[in-house]
Amino acid sequence: MAKRIGDLLKDEGIIGEEEIGFALKEQLSTEERIGEILIRMGLTTDSEVAMAIARQSQKEYLNLKEVVPQKEALKALPFTFARDNQILPVRIENNNLVVATSEPDNIKVLDLASRISKKTVECDVASSLLIQKHIEKEYYLLEHPLEEDIKSSLNQAKQNIRSVDIERLTQLLFISAINLRATDIHITPTQKTTHIRYRIDGVIYTFYTFPIALHSRLISNIKIKAGMDISEQRRPQDGRMTFEFLNEGYDMRISTLRTSNGENLVIRILSTSEELYSLRNLGLEEDGIKALKEVFNKPFGMVFVAGPTGSGKTTTLYAALRAINALEKNVLTVEDPIEYHFPLIRQTQVNEKADYVFASAVRSFLRQDPDVILIGEVRDPETANMAIRAATTGHLVLSTIHANNAVGAIPRLKDLGIGDIMLSSSLLCVIAQRLVRKLCPHCKKEYTSGEIEKETFGISPGTKLYDSSGCPDCLHTGFLGRTLVSEIFLVSEEIERMLSEGAHPFEIKKVAINKGMNTLWGDGKLKILSGITSVKEAIRVLS
Ligand SMILES: [Zn+2]
């Protein structure tokens, strides 16, 4: 390695001298490597280290969360070799084996891989943590083909329902959901069949269908695991359980609802290893990143992230926290729940039984000498009031709010009892956002735009755009992963004056756009023109 990790991350603007100095001090008592300390302290992530290494060694960075390794590639190298050397075979192109590694300059291992596979070997750079997890998982799945096992359960069910090993089937369905990056599993009864549906990147797909006779056995098995009452089938119930797979625990929240066809069961899967993002890799445009960095380093005021449920607001708030110098500032949070633990930040969680809610938490924070306060959500007048009070008494306050667009936060805050003067003197910025699915880079297809593209996004007819297709890499969905579409509303002096005079949000929006604000649809257009997403997907999410 030509450069040390610390210097590499500094060049990338991820950390500064201060963080390196801090890590060096920490090293005196722990003797860890600098990179390890920076990751442990939440100052950088494994993926960011990999991205920096990729840039330095001029290799491709591979996001393993969005890649399904080919079976043929995995078979080219034995499991023990992959595990011992931490390289993951990804795909074969012509007679060329592409592997993922976190050490692209380890020529010896790459040579060895080439000799064993009898192919030329090329490498992409990926996070060492994800490489390790993927090697375990992918080789396990190579030995235990899920699809075939689930299909054989279905065949058994057709012949004799009782012969199906229901516990085994439950596990297969859970593993398959985890493997497909699903966030939710729906087990939905219809008249003759029960559907196993997974939500992936925000959209539900039906993956398996079983005879309805299997439905109640499957539901009962999961309810028992989650400590729910199986004799009660009429009332809605909640439960939770932890599912272990390859040494990782998946927290599952389960709920049932009686429908006309029987009990419907939904499982939310909470991964223990949520990825932490920086402003840079959220999917924001360059000028947006610059503006937000300034906002997050102001000494006081309010910043809101607005959007519907599931639009990634928490991820953006966490990226904001990372843009704030936690070594110099006292940062306190109240969240519901804490989704990621930051070692250098004092995080607390709402506890309604103990009367610890957003508003009361902020009241306690004010006696803890804070610089920055993060409030999970502003949804009632009391919290809104406390948030504004904190923001007008010398603290930077970050929170989320339910509003459809950035300027929409203004009437929402007024509804919660915030007056024009208080609003104008505290509001710094509102970021409104949605998540759009990214087109699968392996199969997206080019086409020439026409009238619809012009009407919806003002794209001139004849422009080269991309639409979704489908291939094994994206499980025939046409998409892989999601990215942010956002609008950043900055309160300028002029807008501050308009707010104090109670100007109509429509007028305020016009001024903001004149000042260069890109709207959600405008940002969507940028993502369409650069081939990241499709017109249909952007319309689906934005309208
Ligand atoms: Zn594809």
Whole-number average pLDDT of the chain: 94
Per-residue model confidence (pLDDT) at position 274: 63
Q: What is the whole-number distance in angstroms between the Cα of residue 236 and the centre of ligand 1?
A: 38
Q: What is the whole-number distance in angstroms between the Cα of residue 480 and the centre of ligand 1?
A: 7
Q: What is the whole-number distance in angstroms between the Cα of residue 66 and the centre of ligand 1?
A: 11
Q: How far apart are CA 297 and CA 292, in angstroms?
A: 9
Q: What is the whole-number distance in angstroms between the Cα of residue 175 and the centre of ligand 1?
A: 22
DSSP string, 467-495: E----GGGTTSSEEEEEEEEEEEE--HHH
Q: How far apart are CA 140 and CA 137, in angstroms?
A: 5
DSSP string, 359-425: HHHHHHHTTS--SEEEES---SHHHHHHHHHHHHTT-EEEEEE--SSSTTHHHHHHHTT--HHHHHH
The verdict on domain 279-542 having CATH code 3.40.50.300 is yes
Reported as a single tens digit per residue, the pLDDT across 215-269 is: 999 999 999 999 999 999 999 999 999 999 998 889 999 999 999 999 999 999 9
Instruction: Give the lowest-confidence range in 13-17, 143-147, 331-335, 352-356.
Output: 13-17
Q: What is the whole-number distance in angstroms between the Cα of residue 75 and the centre of ligand 1?
A: 22
CATH architecture for the domain at 45-143:
2-Layer Sandwich (3.30)
Q: What is the whole-number distance in angstroms between the Cα of residue 439 and the centre of ligand 1?
A: 8
Q: What is the whole-number distance in angstroms between the Cα of residue 468 and the centre of ligand 1?
A: 8
Q: What is the whole-number distance in angstroms between the Cα of residue 310 and the centre of ligand 1?
A: 24
What does the pLDDT average to over 320-330? 90
Reported as a single tens digit per residue, the pLDDT across 435-456 is: 999 999 999 999 999 999 999 9
Q: What is the whole-number distance in angstroms between the Cα of residue 333 and the centre of ligand 1?
A: 40
Q: What is the whole-number distance in angstroms between the Cα of residue 70 and the centre of ligand 1?
A: 13
Q: How far apart are CA 396 and CA 404, in angstroms?
A: 23
Q: What is the whole-number distance in angstroms between the Cα of residue 515 and the centre of ligand 1?
A: 39
Domain ranges of the chain: 45-143, 162-270, 279-542
Which burial class, exposed, middle or buried, applies to 355 when counting CB atoms under 10 A from its CB (0-12, 13-18, 19+)? exposed
Q: What is the whole-number distance in angstroms between the Cα of residue 86 and the centre of ligand 1?
A: 26
Question: How far apart, in Å, are the Cα atoms of 524 and each of 284, 325, 451, 459, 514?
Answer: 11, 31, 17, 11, 18
Q: What is the whole-number distance in angstroms between the Cα of residue 479 and the centre of ligand 1?
A: 6
Q: What is the whole-number distance in angstroms between the Cα of residue 444 and the centre of ligand 1?
A: 7
Q: What is the whole-number distance in angstroms between the Cα of residue 440 and the centre of ligand 1?
A: 5
Q: What is the whole-number distance in angstroms between the Cα of residue 469 and the centre of ligand 1?
A: 7
Q: What is the whole-number distance in angstroms between the Cα of residue 445 and the centre of ligand 1?
A: 10
Per-residue model confidence (pLDDT) at position 2: 54
Q: What is the whole-number distance in angstroms between the Cα of residue 522 and the centre of ligand 1?
A: 26
Q: What is the whole-number distance in angstroms between the Cα of residue 471 and the centre of ligand 1?
A: 4
Q: How far apart are CA 210 and CA 195, in angstroms?
A: 7
Q: Tell me if 182 sits within 8 A of 208, measured CB to CB.
A: no
CATH for 162-270 is 3.30.450.90
* pLDDT-above-70 percentage for the chain: 99
479, pLDDT greater than 70? yes
Q: How far apart are CA 413 and CA 411, in angstroms?
A: 5
Reported as a single tens digit per residue, the pLDDT across 59-100 is: 999 999 888 899 999 999 999 999 999 999 999 988 999 999
Reported as a single tens digit per residue, the pLDDT across 335-363 is: 998 888 888 899 999 999 999 999 999 99
